[in-house]
Amino acid sequence: MRDETLKHAWETWQLIEEHGFKDFDLAYAKEAMARAYTVAENWDGCCKWNNKEKEASKLILGEDDKKYFDKKFSNQPWFGCI
């Protein structure tokens, strides 16, 4: 499961980069990477992507989108990563 989780997260990340998604989608893709590394119990990878996600979340333009993202981010378990 760990390998599959990272594989899917990386496939999503490649699509984000390929198509130049920004804003809400970019933040969520970075969050997915952080969570995939959490599942893999790779704390360095989790922290790296978590920091990237935090920076990207600051760039979410829509106020409702930002509130939704922040709520989802803070409500989910991080299994000791953050």
Examine residue 79 and state whether it is found in any structural domain, yes or no. no
Examine residue 41 and state whether it is found in any structural domain, yes or no. yes
Q: How far apart are CA 68 and CA 19, in angstroms?
A: 23
- Structural domain including 49 reads 2-74
Examine residue 80 and state whether it is found in any structural domain, yes or no. no
Looking at residue 82, its pLDDT comes to 61
Alpha-carbon dihedral sign for residues 68, 70, 73, 75: negative
Examine residue 23 and state whether it is found in any structural domain, yes or no. yes
Given a cut of 80, is residue 63 above it in pLDDT? yes
Question: H/E element holding 17?
Answer: helix 2-19
Examine residue 6 and state whether it is found in any structural domain, yes or no. yes
Looking at residue 76, its pLDDT comes to 66
Examine residue 19 and state whether it is found in any structural domain, yes or no. yes
pTM: 0.83
Given a cut of 90, is residue 2 above it in pLDDT? no
Structural domains counted in the chain: 1
Examine residue 81 and state whether it is found in any structural domain, yes or no. no
Note whether 82 and 47 are within 8 A (CB).
yes
